[in-house]
Amino acid sequence: MPAELKPANPTLSARIRKGFPSAERVFSLDIDFSAAPGFTILFGPSGSGKTTLLDCVAGLATLDAGQIAVGERILFDANAHTNISVAKRGVGYVLQDLALFPHLTVEQNVEYGLAHLPRAVCKRRAAAMLQDFRIEHLQRQRPAEISGGERQRVALARALVTDPCVLLLDEPLAALDAATKSKILDDLRRWNQAHRIPILYVTHSREEVLALGERVLVMEQGRIIAQGTPHEVLRAPLQETVAQLAGFENIFDATVESVHEDRGTMLCRITTRRALGGETGSSLLLETPLIRAEAGSPLRVGIRAGDILLAIVPPTGLSARNVIPGNLVSLEQRDVIVSVRVNCGIEMEAHLTLAARDTLGLMPGKEVWLVIKTHSCHLMQR
């Protein structure tokens, strides 16, 4: 993009209102945010509107109302009827499944956005970018002939070579293994230090949030429900989405059964939601830390799967206050951990090592006991 179009202070600011009337559900985006140069992470469950938000910034989706600007440059303004076309926005966008041009070589893909430049300049800039992202040896290959990680690099290079004023990345590393991921993140971070532009980075992955996060926006149902540094957002996980971000695999609705100020604990009864609304109490009681709450008040309990111990005989002589009998439902190996699901009135997820699985001889149907410390039960509002 020509230098004169590039605002001096390129902060992305957006006020986005967009409704999607559909037969099944009414969904709307209602978002105000600004993103300074550097990484801004968009985190949230699927269907929370992250991709639509990126589409609005890129101009692929049109807002009902609101404004989008980069520095002083207005990309969209509903009141002023300003709507700069996608092609003229100068926004780099790496779509979720990359959308590399399958009939063009790696080099041609990267040169695609430079067609307005003289041939020699175009070649030079594309070559430099291929080198920066360590894909110059692939320049004659087509997307189908290279690996997933290489394709990610091509997609990034293709978007960045145009020198965009904002970069949108929609789960760019979702399909990659950890090692490839961290190498690409390094390259991206290095690039970002040289070109300070706002980068909106959508991800489901907690690791990516923590690795990249200068700032996190947590989205749920088209709204931003929390924002700040990853540390700030994670320190007080008050909402369920944030709790998932903080790594609570087990999140249950509960009501306070009794308060024991003398012991510094409470008893909470786990409740399950009924199909037609309302809740029923289960037989499961958890001892949790004491908070300011009265008996009967609703709250939510989050327990990390890694904080749960598993025993195959009834354990005794423990300091942990919650020992819950149940039946093992399933085991699933993920990388080097084993995720087990245990039915103890409700289903809980616990993480074990491979060695623990083998030593304990775990298999579906086996009777087990879950051991949970009082302070491993994190309470949230609802």
Where do contacts with other proteins occur on this chain (CB under 8 A)?
Answer: 58-60, 85-93, 95, 97-103, 112-113, 115-116, 143-144, 147-148, 151-152, 158-159, 162, 174-176
- For 172, which DSSP code? T
**Residue number, 174 or 362, with CB nearest to other proteins:** 174
Which tokens is 194 given? 């040289």
Query: Counting runs of H as helices and runs of E as strands, what totals does the chain give?
Result: 10, 21
As measured in angstroms, the least distance from the Cβ of 86 to other proteins is: 4
The least CB distance from residue 275 to other proteins, in Å, is: 36
Identity of the residue, 117 or 360, whose beta carbon is nearer to other proteins in the bound complex: 117
Q: Judged by CB, which is closer to other proteins: 58, or 211?
A: 58
Between 90 and 198, name the residue whose CB sits nearer to other proteins. Answer: 90
Residues 6+ apart with CB under 8 A from 116: none
**What is the maximal distance between C-alpha atoms in the chain?**
79
Query: Which residue's CB is nearer to other proteins, number 148 or number 281?
Result: 148
Residue 256 makes CB contacts below 8 A (sequence gap 6+) with 266, 267, 268, 293, 294, 295, 296, 297, 299
The least CB distance from residue 159 to other proteins, in Å, is 7
Contact in structure between 14 and 32 (CB atoms under 8 Å): yes
Residues contacting residue 312 through CB under 8 Å, at least 6 positions apart:
360, 361, 362, 366, 367, 368, 369
Q: How far is the CB of 50 from other proteins (least distance, A)?
A: 16
* Coil vs helix vs strand at 200: strand
CB of 62 to other proteins, least distance (A): 13
